[in-house]
Structure 1
C-alpha cells in the first residue's frame, strides 16, 4: 500500500511551475521524503508514504518540446537529481500536467516512465524506483510509484496538506442515512471524504474525549487514540463516555473512548495506543495519520508533535484551556485556544506555547523517575503543583472550535484562506480573536523549509533522547 502527501506550498509551487499560457503540457521534479510504515494501525498492513520535500524545476536547457498532449525533456537533469536523491535518502519524482483533462496516466506516460525506470535500474540496480505525479487541468491529481519495468503501484490517495486539506483519489460510496444531514449541507462528496480520513487524537481527557466523540459522529473513517492515563474519579466530570465502573476497574482512557465509539456502531474504525506519544511503538500509527489533534498538556508531548508536523507534513491542531479562578484582586479568566501547526505556519515553540524546561523535566520524570525526584528535592526541576481548575463546558467548547477548524480545512465554509493559525476564545467575555506570530529566525522547524516533508530520518525526527 502506498499513498502521498503533497505539502500545500509544494503543490502551489508545482501549479505555478507547470502552468503555461499556451495550454501546453509542462514538467518538474519533486524530491520526496519516505515514511516506511511496517504496520498500519487500522489494517496491520505495510504502508509506504511519500511526502513532498522539495520542488525542482526542469532546467531551461533540458526542455525539448511541448504541446497540449505531450512534453519532452532531456534526462540529464533526471540522472543528476537521481544521484542527489539517493545520497540524501529521498525518492525522486517527476510531475507533469494534462491541462486539457482530468489527471490520468496515458499510454505514452507508461512508455516514457518505463524508459526512465531503465535508467534508474542501470544506475542503481533492481528494486530502486521513482514516483510520478500527474496534475489535471481540472485540479485533480493522481500519482504512482515505479519499482520494476512491469509494475507500478498507484497511490491510493494524494493528500494536499496544510491550512487546507484536499484529498484526491476518494471513490464514491453508498449513501449512508446516518450521515445524510451533513451531506445536505456540504454536498454528496463530503461523507466519502471524511470516511477516507485518518485522524489521530493525542490526549483523551477533557478536550480529547469530546474531540473523539465529535469526530466519530462526523463519520471520520479511522481514528487513533493515544493516551497513557487511566480514568480517575476527578475525570468523570469532563471525560465523555466515562463511568464510575471505569474508575473502579482502572480502565484506560483510550479503551473507554474506543468502547463508546464502537458501541455507537456508526462505521468508525478505532485504533488505540496506551503510552506516551513519543514512544517508538506508536510511530507507525502516528505516521499513518492525515491530521492529528493535540489534546495534551504535556510539554514534552507537544514538543514531539511540533516536530512531527513539519517532518511528515501532517497538520497538528493543538488546543489548550486556561482557567483561573476569581479572586479579590482579579476577575475570572476562562479561555480556549486552538493552534494549527503545519508547514508555513509558526510552530508552538515560536508562539511560546511550549516551555522547553518543563518539557525537559517531564521527559526526565518519564524516563528516570528516581533522578527526577532527587533533582526535585534539590529544586533543580519543577514539581507537579496543584491540579488546574477545569469545567466540562469549556473543554468541550474548545474541542468544538478545533473540530470546526478541521471542517473548514475540508470545506472552506469560512472562506478560501484555510485554517487560521490560531484562535483564542474568551468564555468569560464572549470574545474570540485570531492571533499572528512570526517564526524566530533561528527556528529549524517553521522558519525554513529544510526539514518540511523530510519524513524518516535517524534518529527519529532528529530528536535525541
Structure 2
C-alpha cells in the first residue's frame, strides 16, 4: 500500500489564500503544480509513500469562471488543459484547489462528480497512470486533500504541511484526539492541538553526539511520535560525560551511538517509535529516512554533512534546524574562556543557507569528503600539507550542549505554537553563554547562490543525481 502527503511552501499557501479566499463569500479555484518525492519504504510504517511538494500556483482566469456561488464554482477547462501540458513537460503533477467559504472540511458529492470528470480528462490527455490531486481550503485556512488515481478511486492525504516562518499541519482527525496522561501538563500550557501535531511528526536527528543525543532525548519528552537517528560513530570513554544515555559498558563494547540513543528513548516508555541508520547522512541508505521526515535537527559537526542538509531542506521542503557550539580557550594553564557561543539556525525557503551565513566552508567540506571516501589520498594530501588535517579535539561541556539542544527544540515548538508571539521566530539565534547574551545575526543570500538566491531548487524533490550533487 502507498500513502500520500503534500507540503506547501508558505508563499504558495499565501498566494492561494489571496486567490480563492475572497471577500465575496463565493467559492473560487486555482491550480497547483507539484514535484514529487518518492519514498520506497517509510522506515516507521514500512509502506511506500509519495510526498508532493508545491512548485507553482496557477490562477484560474476570472473570465473562464462560469459560475461562482457560496456552494459551487465551475469554469472552462481550457486553463486545465494548459496546466496539464505544463505538468507533463516538467514531470510534475497537477492539482486543483477550491475554497469552501462556509467551512465544510470534506468534499461534497458535487466535488466528487466534477473531479472524476477532470481526472478522466487528465488521463485521456497525459496517460492512463496520470494522478490528479485535489484540495479544499476553508475560511480558517484549513486544508483537506486527496489524490485521484482513476475516475473510480481516490485516496486521502495522510498529512498536509505548510512550511514557512511557522509550521502548520492539516489532517482529518485534528482536534478530535485525546491527550495522553504523560503530556497532560504540556497541554495545560500549550493546548491539546500541539500534542496532537507533535505525536504525528516524523523527526530526524543527524548526529548523536553531545548535542544530538540531548535533542533526541528531549523529543519524546515533548511528545514527538516518531524519531529517526543517523550517525556512523561509536561510543568511546570521552563521550560518557555528555552523550545522553551512554554507559561505560557502551564505551567498552564500542557500541554505535545510534543504538545507544535509541535504547535510551525506548526505555522512557513514552511510546515514541525510533528507527536509526548507522551511516553518514549522505549515504543512499539514509535517503528514505531523510525524505520521510517532517523536520530534521542537524547536530553534525562536519561541513560536508551540513552542506548536504542545507540542500535537502530546500529540495524537499523539510525544515532543518541546525545546531553548532564553539568554545575557544586560551593556551594558558588553566585555560580561560575567550568565546562560548551556541547557534541555532532554521533552514527553510527564504532563509540564508549555511554557506551564505559563513557557517560552512566548501574547502573543508571537500577535505572531509576526501577523508571519508578516499582516506589514503587524504592522508597523502595531509602529509604534503595540502589539507588541514585534524588538530586538537574541540573543548565541549555537557551543560552547554544540553542548553543548546533545548534552544533548538523550543524553536521547533515556537514554529508550531507561537508561544513567543508573532515576532518570536528566530531564523538564526546566537547565545553567548559566557556573556549571558543572545543575538539574532542576520544574513542575506550571496548573489548567485544556487540554494537561497534562487527558487529553482525550492521544492524540486527527486532528481538525478540526488540533490543535484555531482560528488
The bucket for the TM-score relative to the shorter chain is over 0.9
Deviation at 1:417, TM superposition (A): 4.3
Separation (CA, whole Å) in 2 of partners of 1:140 and 1:226:
33
Aligned-pair CA distance for 1:384: 1.5
2:352 matched residue in structure 1: 346
Q: 404-413 or 156-165: which moved more?
A: 156-165
After TM superposition, give the deviation of residue 100 of structure 1 in Å: 1.4
Native 8 Å contact 2:21 2:139 kept in 1: no
1:263-342 aligned at under 5 Å gives the runs 263-326=267-330, 332-342=338-348
Asked if residue 185 in structure 1 is aligned to residue 189 in structure 2, the reply is: yes
The alignment yields a C-alpha RMSD, in angstroms, of 1.4
* Equivalent residue in structure 1 for 2:52, among 50, 55, 59: 50
* Contact 1:319 1:337 survives alignment (8 Å): yes
1:373 pairs with 2:379? yes
Q: Does 1:388 find its partner at 2:416?
A: no
In structure 2, what is the Cα distance between the partners aligned to 1:265 and 1:338?
A: 29
- Mind listing any 5+ residue stretches in structure 2 that lack a counterpart? none
**Structure 1 residue ranges (4+ consecutive) displaced by more than 4 angstroms after TM superposition:** 327-331
Moved more, 109-118 or 321-330: 321-330
Q: CA deviation at 1:83?
A: 1.6
* Matched-pair contact (CA < 8 Å) for 2:225–2:271: yes
1:269-319 per-residue CA deviation (whole Å, 9 max, x = no partner) reads 001011010111110110000000000111111001000101111000001
CA apart distance, 1:74: 1.5
Which secondary structure state, in structure 1, belongs to the residue aligned with residue 149 of structure 2? strand
TM-score under structure 1 normalisation? 0.97
Secondary structure, aligned partner of 1:189: helix
The aligned residue for residue 250 of structure 1 is 254
Alpha-carbon distance, 1:109 to partner: 0.9
Provide the residue aligned with 2:215 in structure 1.
Answer: 211
Higher mean alpha-carbon deviation, 316-325 vs 122-131, is at: 122-131
Question: Match for residue 243 of structure 2?
Answer: 239
CA distance, structure 1, for counterparts of residue 88 and residue 423 of structure 2: 36
Give the Cα separation in 2 of the matches to 1:279 and 1:331: 37
Structure 1 CA distance for aligned equivalents of residues 164 and 380 of structure 2:
43
What is the deviation of 1:60? Answer: 3.6
Structure 2 counterpart SS, 1:449 = coil
For the 8 Å contact 1:28–1:55, the answer to whether it is kept is yes
User: C-alpha separation between the residues in 2 aligned to 1:311 and 1:287?
Assistant: 10
Partner of 1:173: 177
Equivalent positions of 1:30-179 (< 5 A) are 30-169=32-171, 171=173, 172-179=176-183
In structure 2, the partner of 1:199 is 203
Residues 342, 433 of structure 2: 8 Å contact kept: yes
Contact 1:206 1:395 in 2 (8 A): yes
| Counterpart-to-counterpart distance in 1, 2:34 and 2:416 | 24
* Per-residue CA distance 1:139-158 (angstroms, 9 max, x = gap): 21101111111101110111
Task: Flag structure 1 segments of 5+ consecutive residues without an equivalent.
Answer: none
Q: Does the Cα contact within 8 Å between 1:170 and 1:196 map onto a contact in 2?
A: no
Moved more, 86-95 or 224-233: 86-95
Counterpart contact for 1:326–1:333, Cα < 8 Å: no
Contact 2:230–2:258 (CA<8 Å) still a contact in 1?
A: yes
The CA distance in 1 between the partners of 2:356 and 2:185, in whole Å, is 40
User: Paired residue for 1:411?
Assistant: 417
Report how far residue 102 of structure 1 moved. 3.7
Within 2, Cα distance between the matches of 1:58 and 1:372? 57
